[in-house]
Amino acid sequence: MPGRLEPDEMPRRDWLGLAGLWTAALAVGGSLVGMARLPKPRVSPEASSRFRAGSPLEYPPGTVKVLPDQIVRMIATEAGVAALSLVCTHLGCVVGEDADGGFLCPCHGSRFDAQGKVLGGPAPRPLRWLEVSQAADGALVVDAAREVPAGDFYPPTSGRPA
Amino acid sequence: MSEINLPQLDRRIKWALLLTSLATLAVLLASALAENVFAPWRIIRGRYAGILAEKAGDARGAALARQFENRIVQNVLPELGTVDRCITCHPGVDDPRMTDQPQPYRAHSGDYLIHHPPEKFGCTVCHRGQGRALTFEEAKAVGHHWDYPLLPPEYTQSSCGLCHTGPEVEHRGGEVYALGERLFGEKGCRACHRLSGRGGSLGPALDGVGMKVRGQLPMAGVSGEHTLPQWLAEHFDSPQRVVPGSLMKPPQLSREENTALTVYMLSLQNRDLPRSYLSPEKHREYYLAARPAPASGEALFSQFCSPCHDTGEIGIYDKFYAAFAPAVRGVAFAQIASASYVEAVIREGRPGTAMPAWGAAAGGLSDAEIAELRRYLLATPVPQGSRLAEPILARAHDPNYRSTGDAGRGAAIFTRHCTGCHGPGGAGLLAPSLVTSTFQRHAADGFLYATIAEGRANTAMPGFLSRGGFFERDIEDVIAYLRKLGGQDRAASPVARAQGQP
Ligand code: FES
């Protein structure tokens, strides 16, 4: 029978006990991490913020076109194409086009110039400029979730990518 | 029992703890790897990133390769009620450079995606299957628990019909659908099947048949996969094998036609798609279905009548149905039938026989169409030799002519001369029934007289007056008997008899 006379045994048992405890702790910890991830799905069925705005050929320099479904104004210049969001930065109404090329919000009267800069009213920020890129088939793609600095025009390349 | 060996128990518990914890850790690690490293979609997208990098020849190609992320991508379309993640593993569908790649990286065939951007249409609205799946096996949605499995490629064109008409897509990638739609009209399917409120009632209505699920179909006779397309295709080959006791004549289709008609059936989905998805031509089709443009009598006849009546020029005994289809465009019939009689029979059908009612409330033909059809039937050209004698024609069209015969005598004559074909009591055997309510109500005495006297050319009905040895009185007696069969006892009315004396 092992006892105090055989001190070798104690460290070995200790090692076993410690290893068991540590792995158990790791297992519990790992499971908790896994469980903590559960409430956050990898992808949820939300409508995509990206949409196609058509072929670059539809936007020769000088074009100004409103896409009413997506609530953006597409602006094309020599420098490229840009997308200006028409959602008011105050409380989210859709701004209307003003006579002078600017915008007027019907809700609380914010006014913006053609570049989206605030001219008056309660709007705290200028209208958002959205990121424009190009899909593989050449179509322009606007991402309503990504903003770019005002005055940033995307220069589209024509045809298919090489 | 000896005393408990404490140190040994202690060791055992520790070992158990170590081993179970290790096993738990292993499971955790394995699932973390499976989810984050070895998920099939991750591997596929990882390879696609390589392809993109390889093909990045210019600035835009490089930008595309740079922007590519290894994450789940999807098209969420609340209007269509779909969430399609197919593009996660088919990332190259809209990339024209990917036509040379193997699946799942290949670009979509044809120019379908140019007119149907995936952001607006998704994938499953045309291909069916499970859009949320992230493995191919699950995306196919095969088995008991899935209603709409991935369509085999040869049937995908059925989805064109949700928003387009056949002629519209015939030369634009929808040729199979267009053929199916045409065959549906040409084969006269509407003679027995109703669709959008128009058609006969011998077979089931076909609205929404493309949305049937496997549980709704008898699958015992289907030798292939138990799916709706397979059921339809095998059913067209042999209706009786798939549906024992089916009344449907095998439609005799080539392989290609079978596929096309199956495609058309699959397109009949009765789905409430948003109006903005439908092409203007489809809107027009719906509009016209609600207010049919006047079709020619000939077109109506071929669509609704010819499967049973054929050309209508000769009387046909149909062995398949063991029933008689009269010569509705026969030369004799065209001369003696009145417009009101023909229209009434078309409108009301012949209850108790295979001839359904075609009026607006039943078969869906408008009064104008029935009149058009009647004009077509009665406009059958009559060759010189077949023209009936003037007195007979006059009597046939005389609305005031009433038979004054003796029903008792008529019964004896009828039994001897008529029951062979028309059956005992005129109930119909090889020749049509004479007791249906429509016939009794709308066939005038003059019409009966002319028919019995002169027979019907090109049918089995002989003329009894000239060659059959009948006298005029015999015919009148037979008519009286027929009226009695129909529930009118003329003999009980001496006034009528007195009035009717020549
Ligand atoms: S929402 Fe536009 S001004 Fe208030």
- Could you tell me if B282 and B260 are in contact, meaning their C-beta atoms sit under 8 angstroms apart? no
Atom of ligand 1 nearest to the CA of A105: 2
> For residue B249, what are its two tokens?
């004549």
Strand A72-77 and strand A64-67: the pairing is antiparallel
Q: Please name the member of A17, A20, A137 whose beta carbon is closest to the beta carbon of B21.
A: A20
Burial (CB count <10 Å: 0-12, 13-18, 19+), residue B171: exposed
What does the pLDDT average to over A78-91?
92
CB contact under 8 A, B57 and A133: no
Question: How close are the terminal C-alpha atoms of chain B, in Å?
Answer: 128
| Arch. (CATH architecture) of B159-286 | Orthogonal Bundle (1.10)
> To the nearest 5 percent, what fractions of chain A are helix, strand and coil?
20, 30, 50
List of residues 6+ apart from B409 with CB closer than 8 A? B474, B477, B481
- Could you tell me if B200 and B194 are in contact, meaning their C-beta atoms sit under 8 angstroms apart? yes
- pLDDT tens per residue, range A101-155: 889 999 999 999 988 999 988 999 999 999 998 888 888 999 998 899 988 898 8
If you average pLDDT over every residue of chain A, what do you get?
86
Which strand (E) or helix (H) includes residue B185? helix B175-186
pLDDT at position A67 over 60: yes
Hey, is the C-beta of A157 within 8 angstroms of any chain B C-beta? Answer: yes
pLDDT for B196 equals: 87
pLDDT for A149 equals: 92
Q: Name which residue sits closest to atom 3 of ligand 1, judged by CA.
A: A108
Mutate which of A85, A103, A107 to test ligand 1's pocket (most atoms within 8 Å of Cβ)? A107
Closest-CA residue to B362 (of B349, B373, B372): B349
- pLDDT tens per residue, range B418-450: 898 888 888 888 888 888 888 888 899 999 999
Same fold, B159-286 and B298-499: yes
Task: For residues A92 and A109, give the distance between their C-alpha atoms in angstroms, rounded to a whole number.
Answer: 12
What does the pLDDT average to over B124-136?
94
C-alpha angle B447/B433/B361, rounded to 5°?
85
Q: How many helices and strands in chain A, by DSSP H and E?
A: 1, 10
Chain A contacts in chain B segment 57-116 (CB below 8 A): 57-61, 63-64, 67, 71-72, 74-78, 83, 85, 92, 94-98, 113-114
Mutate which of A91, A94, A98 to test ligand 1's pocket (most atoms within 8 Å of Cβ)? A91
C-alpha angle B53/A139/B156, rounded to 5°?
90
CB-ligand 1 contact for A87 (6 Å cutoff) = no
Q: Please name the member of B17, B31, B96 whose beta carbon is closest to the beta carbon of A24.
A: B17
Hey, is the C-beta of A49 within 8 angstroms of any chain B C-beta? Answer: no
pLDDT at position B492 over 50: no
CB-ligand 1 contact for A119 (6 Å cutoff) = no
The owner of tokens 């079978």 is B258
- pLDDT tens per residue, range B47-81: 999 999 998 888 888 888 988 989 999 999 988 99
pLDDT for B93 equals: 93
pLDDT for B499 equals: 46
**ipTM for the assembly:** 0.77
Confidence of residue B500 (pLDDT cuts 50, 70, 90): very low
- pLDDT tens per residue, range B332-342: 899 999 999 99
CB contact under 8 A, B14 and A42: no
Task: For residues B181 and A106, give the distance between their C-alpha atoms in angstroms, rounded to a whole number.
Answer: 51
- pLDDT tens per residue, range B452-479: 998 888 888 888 887 778 888 899 999 9
Instruction: Return the domain boundaries, chain B.
Output: 40-150, 159-286, 298-499
What CATH number has the domain spanning B298-499?
1.10.760.10
pLDDT for B89 equals: 95
What does the pLDDT average to over A80-90?
93
pLDDT for A91 equals: 93
Half-sphere exposure of B74 (CA within 13 A, CB side): 19
Chain A contacts in chain B segment 126-145 (CB below 8 A): 132
Confidence of residue B490 (pLDDT cuts 50, 70, 90): low
On whether the A50-148 domain is CATH 2.102.10.10, my answer is yes
Hey, is the C-beta of A87 within 8 angstroms of any chain B C-beta? Answer: no
pLDDT for A93 equals: 93
Question: For the ranges A110-114, B299-303, B323-327, which has the lowest average pLDDT?
Answer: B323-327
- pLDDT tens per residue, range B213-236: 998 999 999 999 999 999 999 999
